[in-house]
Structure 1
Amino acid sequence: MTTIHNGVSPRAHAVQAAAALAASMGIGRFVYTPILPLMHTQSGLSASLGATLATANYVGYLIGALAGILIPGVVRSAAVMRTSLVVLIATLALMPTTHDGSIWFALRLVAGIASALVFMIAVSALHAHLRGQSQFLAGWGFGGVGLGIALSGVLVFVVRFIGSWGTAWLASASLAVVCAVAAWGLTPEPRPIITPDAPGTPSSHRWFTALVISYFLEGIGYIIAGTFLVAAIDLAALQWVGSGAWIVVGLAAFPSCALWAWLSLRWSRPTLLLVALLIQAVGIALPAVIGGVGPALISAFLFGVTFLGIGSIALAIGAHLQFPRAVALLTAGYSVGQILGPLVVTPLLRDGYRDALLLGAAVVLGAAVAAAVLRFRFPSDLDADPRTATSTEEVVFDVR
């Protein structure tokens, strides 16, 4: 039976949320990755400044995420979502108007704040309006991130043959406008029924500690690849391969949350988290170890099929453990990891990206080791209802 919310069908809600996520994350946040090599060669952007600009965006994302946690009304505001979409598009369009690194820094910082706000509003709306529907529909909605990556990747791939780095930013802003128009009518979640935070139990603390460590390390490792994968492949193979690989990342990410939701019906989440992290580590290391087109495309596929799934699995485990403020703590740890990632590898970029990718893969392996702890005597019988909102779990995307 299909439930209609505010005159909009669940499928339409999923499409609107996917469009918002495509604009805010797939384009607004991640289009920097395929444009980065063009900026290196055409605008004189150094590797260290490139890493600094990436960090600025992640700092902005953390600021936006904290705003959503500290001011819960933000994630229920259509005005905030629409304003953030407009601001985000403006930051994209303004990038080619200057060569000043400090202005670029400010633009990417503001873009990070705006993308985080739209992300939280879209995801919370997605799950508020799809409760009781097919568990895979939300997964496809969240796949809008991957769709945005793929579409912007195709755009930059074409532009690199007919235009400049500035054209790529302007074209991306235009694509974001199209997505924003499609997302404009998205209805944020209504005020939820608040239940007190679960007190947690001492027995769940050790698993949650392992989860926080794993997710923090994943934030460091994944963002290294998410920022520098295209530039690294461009150096190791034909230049078009990097942009092509980023398209593969998006195409693999688009159905990935629905895929991991299906797998969670057959295997435990701790097992899936471990497997996904191991697969991702291999994918990040592959282009650093083996050159050529084939390994580059395989790397892109493995990265794309895991990075969204790992987030959904980890946050679902945190909610299941009923640890107080689980989602807030996990989100904060992940965001801090993303800030540290580009800074950690900056000294390694002097001679290319190989060492940076190897370090990223090693960090993700460390995340897998921490995740392995979850598999031992995991309390799978805890009574957790993923459809009950708490004051700290309003923005979790729990794709089961």
Structure 2
Amino acid sequence: MIKLFDRNNNIAILIAGIFSIIIGLGVARFAFTGLIPAMLDDYITIKFVGILASLNFAGYLGGSIFSIFIKDINFKVYLYRLGVFLAITTTFILAFSSNDTLWLIGRVLGGFAGAMCLIVGTSIVMQKLTIKSKTKAMGIHFSGIGFSILTTDLIARFVLSMGYTWRDSWTILAIFALVLSVYSMYILSFDKEIKQNAVKVKFDFTIFTPFVIVLIIAYFTEGVGFVVQATFLPDIINNLKGLDGFGSITWTLVGVAGIPSCIIWMLLAHRFGSSNIIIIALLLQAVGILIPVLSSNVYLNLLSGVLYGGTFIGLVALFMNLGGQLSKGNPVVLMGAMTSSYGIGQVIAPLYSVYFIEKYGSYDYALILTAVIVVAGAILLLLAKKFEPEIE
């Protein structure tokens, strides 16, 4: 037990990393999705939800790109702590403020906080781990994304089930994040300042081969595919005939399916090739997106949550892993391009979704367009396979 408070213990580092993801993504991002049905009942509109989601992803995009170019590990620790602070503070805003402007600013800062907790936090975890196979360790670390959805959803649902309001849920979630932050900030720091040699990054644009360009476009389509369900899934399910109340269960299944997904997809990629597995995962995600359009069967729609949770985390890992392999040992430029592409998809998708929802009074058109975009990404990648370079 004492070793769990040892900053250099690998298990402690992995636990702290998962706590960071729960704080930055679970509390500051995904909990919002689970609480949308309750907030729609007495406070926000679906249009405002879309705007808030778009701004949240814009904040995440900005933080992601910014973090890619930060090399000093000591500065990363400060940025990580800033992210934890912002994640908790912006959650308290949702609990106690009724000012729309504060909510808008809070969601942007919450998105930035998510990038600091996930991307910067992950780089600190990588630096501190002394495990030989860091790839396997990262599979455990990224299972935190699934845990972040599951834990925050269960907490929010429990508070609501006790007769309290969605604002009370935000308060409890903020306090929960505050408790986790004490441990994660203590472990994810260093006993003394780490001395590093300055690394000069050479911008080698020859990495942008036809296949890499298609990979970047395909990652954009996954950014679109990720967002619509990440933003609206519980409300989508609740609006289906006979499924009112099943939205929260579906969202819980997203978290459960997400926990092992990264490890499973990476193992499959190692055996069958990353691009092949990305295509399969994209097509499975498209099927999950279309299920609420084609059927109101309860089991099929619960399956849609499993397909979503089981693909979106794995796809991020698959794309980033393949991009790293194609970057010729200098991933900064390619990672920046891929992250930007994914982020643009995230920002756009909630906005066109709101347009279709308001125009037609249904999620169907937004879901159909999203599925078409995701399938287009899979087809483009399939066609581009003949240009795929061999990876040593």
Corresponding letter in the other structure for 1:208: V
Q: Once the 2 structures are TM-superposed, how far is the Cα of residue 126 of structure 1 from its aligned partner?
A: 2.6
> In 2, distance between residues paired with 1:127 and 1:332?
23
Structure 1: 5+ residue runs without aligned partners?
A: 1-5, 383-400
Q: Once the 2 structures are TM-superposed, how far is the Cα of residue 352 of structure 1 from its aligned partner?
A: 2.7
Name the SS of the counterpart of 1:156 in structure 2: helix
1:228-243 to structure 2, matched below 5 A, reads: 228-236=232-240, 237-243=242-248
> In 2, distance between residues paired with 1:252 and 1:318?
25
> In 1, distance between residues paired with 2:34 and 2:245?
10
> In 2, distance between residues paired with 1:57 and 1:225?
15
Q: Taking structure 1 as reference, are residues 7 and 154 closer, same or farther at Cα in structure 2, changes over 3 Å only?
A: closer
> In 1, distance between residues paired with 2:337 and 2:26?
24
**Larger displacement relative to structure 2 (155-164 or 54-63):** 155-164
Q: Once the 2 structures are TM-superposed, how far is the Cα of residue 265 of structure 1 from its aligned partner?
A: 2.6
Name the SS of the counterpart of 1:163 in structure 2: coil
> In 2, distance between residues paired with 1:366 and 1:49?
29
Q: Which residue of 2 aligns with 1:331?
A: 339
Q: Which residue of 2 aligns with 1:223?
A: 227
Indicate yes or no: 2:121 matched with 1:122.
yes
Q: Which residue of 1 aligns with 2:182?
A: 181
Name the SS of the counterpart of 2:14 in structure 1: helix
Contact 1:152 1:175 (C-alpha < 8 Å) held by counterparts: no
Contact 1:154 1:243 (C-alpha < 8 Å) held by counterparts: no
Q: Which residue of 1 aligns with 2:41?
A: 41
Contact 2:269 2:276 (C-alpha < 8 Å) held by counterparts: no
Q: Which residue of 2 aligns with 1:298?
A: 303
Corresponding letter in the other structure for 1:229: L
Corresponding letter in the other structure for 1:371: L
Q: Which residue of 1 aligns with 2:172?
A: 171
Q: Which residue of 1 aligns with 2:348?
A: 340
Pick the aligned partner of 2:211 from 207, 216, 224: 207
Superposition misfits of 4+ residues, deviation over 4 angstroms? 188-193, 195-198
Corresponding letter in the other structure for 2:348: L
Tell me the TM-score normalised to structure 1 length. 0.87
Q: Which residue of 1 aligns with 2:151?
A: 151
Q: Once the 2 structures are TM-superposed, how far is the Cα of residue 200 of structure 1 from its aligned partner?
A: 6.2
Q: Once the 2 structures are TM-superposed, how far is the Cα of residue 188 of structure 1 from its aligned partner?
A: 5.5
Corresponding letter in the other structure for 2:137: L
Contact 1:269 1:313 (C-alpha < 8 Å) held by counterparts: yes
Q: Once the 2 structures are TM-superposed, how far is the Cα of residue 276 of structure 1 from its aligned partner?
A: 0.7
Q: Taking structure 1 as reference, are residues 191 and 295 closer, same or farther at Cα in structure 2, changes over 3 Å only?
A: farther
> In 1, distance between residues paired with 2:280 and 2:172?
37
1:224-373 to structure 2, matched below 5 A, reads: 224-236=228-240, 237-322=242-327, 325-350=333-358, 351-373=361-383
1:52-201 to structure 2, matched below 5 A, reads: 52-73=51-72, 76-130=75-129, 132-133=132-133, 135-161=135-161, 162-187=163-188, 194=199, 196-197=201-202, 199=204, 201=206
The structure carrying a bigger helix percent of its residues is: 2
Contact 2:353 2:366 (C-alpha < 8 Å) held by counterparts: yes
**Larger displacement relative to structure 2 (151-160 or 210-219):** 151-160
Contact 2:27 2:91 (C-alpha < 8 Å) held by counterparts: no
> In 2, distance between residues paired with 1:59 and 1:238?
32
Contact 2:243 2:296 (C-alpha < 8 Å) held by counterparts: no
Q: Once the 2 structures are TM-superposed, how far is the Cα of residue 184 of structure 1 from its aligned partner?
A: 1.7
Tell me the TM-score normalised to structure 2 length. 0.89
Corresponding letter in the other structure for 1:223: V
Q: Once the 2 structures are TM-superposed, how far is the Cα of residue 270 of structure 1 from its aligned partner?
A: 0.4
Q: Taking structure 1 as reference, are residues 51 and 381 closer, same or farther at Cα in structure 2, changes over 3 Å only?
A: closer
Corresponding letter in the other structure for 1:111: G
Contact 1:14 1:126 (C-alpha < 8 Å) held by counterparts: yes
Q: Once the 2 structures are TM-superposed, how far is the Cα of residue 371 of structure 1 from its aligned partner?
A: 2.1
Count residues in correspondence. Answer: 376
> In 2, distance between residues paired with 1:371 and 1:96?
43
Q: Taking structure 1 as reference, are residues 185 and 374 closer, same or farther at Cα in structure 2, changes over 3 Å only?
A: farther
Name the SS of the counterpart of 1:238 in structure 2: coil
Q: Taking structure 1 as reference, are residues 192 and 207 closer, same or farther at Cα in structure 2, changes over 3 Å only?
A: farther
Q: Once the 2 structures are TM-superposed, how far is the Cα of residue 96 of structure 1 from its aligned partner?
A: 3.0
**Larger displacement relative to structure 2 (68-77 or 160-169):** 68-77
> In 2, distance between residues paired with 1:196 and 1:77?
18
Name the SS of the counterpart of 2:30 in structure 1: coil
- RMSD between aligned residues: 2.3
Contact 1:25 1:145 (C-alpha < 8 Å) held by counterparts: yes
**Larger displacement relative to structure 2 (298-307 or 323-332):** 323-332
> In 1, distance between residues paired with 2:36 and 2:123?
31
Deviations 1:281-310 (A, max 9, x none): 111111221113212210111100110111
